[in-house]
Structure 1
Amino acid sequence: MPDGPVNVDDVEWTDYDHGQRAFRRKQLAPAAGGEELGASLYDVAPGKRLWLRHYHEGNEEAIFVQEGSGTLRLGPDADEHRLGPGDYVALPAGEESTHEIEAGDDGLRLLMVSTMQEPDITVYPDKDMVGLYAGAAPGGDSDERSISTYLDLHAEMAYWDEA
């Protein structure tokens, strides 16, 4: 049971810097005692991007833009949509919700919310890669995961081959 409200100013930023993908994140849900719903505040510098373009097979996400502007590349064809303050985007599980976010000239601050179901498979179509998670959902406590790995999307083995 949470102790009460958590103020965003009391949660520390975590910095991510992977070249073009650089942003700050405050994980609000765990700080407030959230278990099945994740929420993170993101601050993205002008021209920088968030996570790799992806979609989830087991979790739904949503975006709420608070400040700034940016571009959302949405769906299998990466159709471009302008983002601005007050915009809300629902991203149900599945390929139609493939997404990537890039901040505009004035940067971008947004709240992302997601279900925290596990296991989950996250698909990264531009890299032909999948992420497999069990024990804790993506965005959850990685120390609690029994599986947390990234694999080639086309890596296959025959089920019935004898060892």
Structure 2
Amino acid sequence: MEPVNEADLSWTETEHGETAFRRKKLAAAATEEGDDPDLGCSLYELPPGKRSWPYHYHTGNAEAFYVLAGRGLLRTEDGEHDLQPDDYVACPTGAAGAHRVVNDGDEPLRYLALSTMREPDVTVYPDSGKVGVYAGSPPGGEDERDVSGYYDRDATVDYWADEE
């Protein structure tokens, strides 16, 4: 177990419409190959006017955020809450933990995102009516997944439909 310095890691970038952020997977960099981490941690940076992942909650993983710099909003089930440096918020599993981070300020919003790393997990997106399904590696995990995809929440198929 050796320390990992954030400055030694490269940013990955995600951009899709109003969603745009940079991310460094700190926990993944600190985990030795073959280990299964119990805790995830990433450094996020949201540019002004941008948002993190779409509004969602996890059925199997809790998340928490610690604001390092900048200002923004946290959208939750019960409304919007101001975020500022040194704020910490914990998002439990289930609908009560639904969240989205928004940078409504004039400078980058930097925060640590921590999560349990359990699999399987289902991520529910109330605004779009979709779900994400992950098995074999949790959301944010580095291992290959047995099952992974996004689906309409109300989509169903008959269990016996393809059998003769």
Same fold (TM over 0.5): yes
Q: Does 1:50 align with 2:48?
A: no
Cα–Cα, structure 1 residues 162 and 23, in superposed 2: closer, same or farther, change >3 Å?
closer
Q: Whole-Å Cα distance in 2 between the matches of residues 134 and 59 of structure 1?
A: 13
State which of 16, 19, 28 in structure 2 corresponds to 1:18. Answer: 16
What is the correspondence of 1:85-100 to structure 2 with a 5 Å cutoff? 85-100=85-100
1:93, CA displacement in angstroms?
Answer: 0.4
Q: Whole-Å Cα distance in 2 between the matches of residues 53 and 60 of structure 1?
A: 15
Paired residue type of 1:122? T
1:17, CA displacement in angstroms?
Answer: 1.2
| Superposed structure 1 runs of 4+ greater than 6 Å apart | none
* Contact 1:120–1:132, Cα closer than 8 Å, also in 2: yes
Structure 1 gap segments, 5+ residues each: none
Q: Secondary structure at the match of 1:144?
A: coil
Q: Whole-Å Cα distance in 2 between the matches of residues 18 and 129 of structure 1?
A: 17
1:154 aligned partner: 154
TM-score (norm 2): 0.91
Matched pairs, number: 158
Q: Once structures 1 and 2 are overlaid, which stretch shifts more, 14-23 or 40-49?
A: 14-23
Q: Secondary structure at the match of 2:133?
A: strand
1:6 aligned partner: 4
TM-score (norm 1): 0.92
2:39 aligned partner: 37
1:60 aligned partner: 62
Q: Whole-Å Cα distance in 2 between the matches of residues 71 and 140 of structure 1?
A: 26
* Contact 1:65–1:88, Cα closer than 8 Å, also in 2: yes
2:144 aligned partner: 144
* Contact 1:16–1:24, Cα closer than 8 Å, also in 2: yes
1:114 aligned partner: 115
The root-mean-square deviation of aligned C-alpha atoms, in Å, is: 1.4
Paired residue type of 2:98? T
Paired residue type of 1:49? R
Q: Whole-Å Cα distance in 1 between the matches of residues 159 and 46 of structure 2?
A: 44
State which of 63, 71, 74 in structure 2 corresponds to 1:72. Answer: 74
